[in-house]
Amino acid sequence: MKSLGIQTLFRPQVKQEHKAKPITIKTPEEVEKMRIACQLAADVLVMIEPYVKEGVSTQELDKICHDYMVNVQQVIPAPLNYKGFPKSICTSVNHQVCHGIPSNKPLKNGDIINIDITVIKNGFHGDTSKMFIVGETNLPARQLVAVTYQCLRLGIAQVRPGNFLGDVGYAIQKFAENQGYSVVQEYCGHGIGRDFHEEPQVMHYGKPKTGVLLRPGMTFTIEPMINAGKRYVKRLPDDWTVVTKDRSLSAQWEHTVLVTDTGVEVLTKRAEETDFV
Ligand code: MF3
Ligand code: CO
Ligand code: CO
């Protein structure tokens, strides 16, 4: 997910303030390339599932994904060297919110882990993540994972021409907060295509009928990060791993979607996912 870079809001006016790039509307040919990249990203999540077991380290998962992407799929793992990120996937365990760096620490029974995959194929990005439960975990953790997935589904259900990004954020925030959870605000979804992180920023909170108007041909991610405790987060000294300030559990699911003429196409959908309402 994209950092909102809140600090830029308070920066005094300086010459050459960078201008937001326009939202790209994909041509049918570009949409077809997005479909391919996105399905490859989804395939990595399917491939890695049997390896997500007690005792495996996240760097072992990174290596399996890296080798599969590079050697089998012949895609570029987008995170590797992205702004200095050192690995090919992100792995965020328990109170880690996002951008976790794979390490030699083994997973243990009851952990919840987000694996976030972004590939580049023929110049286009596909970006998707899901939660895995290691062995068996407690009800609060299972509920957080399930509610966060429902947040993603409810956000996706708001995607159609004529609706606004505020409708997406509102649907997610309302459901999460009704369940007693909080929505991380410092990181958001993003337009995606030739660039990893394009305009617009896709907030997971907001007000109906506000923000960017959705138009056919837009492609962007929705990737809510939901905390069991308070919404506040901090970055670890490794400069990447984002964790909850109160050390409460956090979950995230992500899809890349296309605004179609009539609604939405979930470009990173996996076979195990049957509907999105
Ligand atoms: N895949 C993340 C997203 O959903 C971004 C990861 S950036 C990295 O936007 F450098 F940490 F890999
Ligand atoms: Co993303
Ligand atoms: Co991602």
Does the residue 152 lie in any domain?
A: yes
Take atom 4 of ligand 1 and give the residue whose Cα is closest: 1
Does the residue 18 lie in any domain?
A: no
Take atom 12 of ligand 1 and give the residue whose Cα is closest: 79
Q: Which of 118, 186, 195 to mutate to test the pocket of ligand 1 (most atoms within 8 A of CB)?
A: 118
Contact in structure between 200 and 23 (CB atoms under 8 Å): yes
Does the residue 21 lie in any domain?
A: no
Does the residue 40 lie in any domain?
A: yes
Q: What is the CATH number of the domain that holds 258?
A: 3.90.230.10
What is the total count of domains within the chain? Answer: 1
* Residue 239 Cβ contacting ligand 1 at under 6 Å: no
Does the residue 23 lie in any domain?
A: no
Does the residue 85 lie in any domain?
A: yes
Q: Residue 253 Cα, ligand 3 centroid: separation in angstroms?
A: 9
Does the residue 7 lie in any domain?
A: no
Q: How big is the CA angle at 173 (ends 109 and 112), to the nearest 5 degrees?
A: 5
What is the extent of the structural domain holding 226?
28-266
Residue-level pLDDT, tens digit, the chain, 277 residues: 777 764 444 444 444 555 668 999 999 999 999 999 999 999 999 999 999 999 999 999 999 999 999 999 999 999 999 999 999 999 999 999 999 999 999 999 999 999 999 999 999 999 999 999 999 999 999 999 999 999 999 999 999 999 999 999 999 999 999 999 999 999 999 999 999 999 999 999 999 999 999 999 999 999 999 999 999 999 999 999 999 999 999 999 999 999 999 999 999 999 999 876 5
* Helix ranges restricted to H, the chain: 28-48, 58-67, 139-157, 165-178
Does the residue 75 lie in any domain?
A: yes
Strand 219-222 relative to strand 242-244, pairing: unpaired
Global pTM reads 0.94
